[in-house]
């Protein structure tokens, strides 16, 4: 395979490295690339989800709720 024919225009040294990872997994090189891109997109989506979730958090209310937890209940034998 010449440099022009490699996936996404990658360099030959990168292709060798990619193949060394793909071979033990039994994956074709293009499938390995697809999996890597999918995992990266998933991580980016998860990051934005947590940023959005964090922006909606009501920390003072959460602490009030935690202070109330268990009040008025007898301790259990396992405590």
Contact by Cβ (8 Å): 2, 11: no
In a domain, residue 78? The reply is no
Residue 47: which domain range?
3-67
**For the chain, what is the total number of helices (H) and then of strands (E)?**
3, 0
In a domain, 74, yes or no: no
- The better pLDDT of the pair 33, 3 is held by 33
Tokens read off for 61: 């209310």
Residue 19 lies in a domain: yes
| Contact yes or no for 29/15 (Cβ under 8 A) | yes
Residue 73 lies in a domain: no
Confidence bin at 9 (pLDDT 50/70/90): low
Report the number of distinct structural domains present in the chain.
1
Look at residue 47 in the predicted model and tell me its pLDDT: 93
The closest alpha carbon to 22, from 6, 37, 7, 33, belongs to: 33
48: in domain: yes
- Does the residue 77 lie in any domain? no
Domain assignment present for residue 72? The answer is no
Give tens-digit pLDDT for 15-51.
Answer: 777 778 777 777 787 787 788 899 999 999 999 999 9
Say if 30 falls within a structural domain: yes
């Amino acid at each position: 395979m010449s440099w022009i024919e490699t996936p996404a225009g990658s360099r030959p040294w990168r292709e060798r490295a990619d193949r060394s990872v793909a071979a033990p997994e039994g994956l074709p090189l293009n499938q390995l690339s697809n999996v890597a891109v999918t995992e990266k997109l998933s991580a980016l989506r998860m990051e934005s989800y947590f940023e959005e979730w964090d922006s909606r958090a009501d920390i003072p209310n959460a602490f009030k709720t935690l202070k109330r937890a268990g009040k008025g209940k007898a301790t259990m034998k396992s405590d």
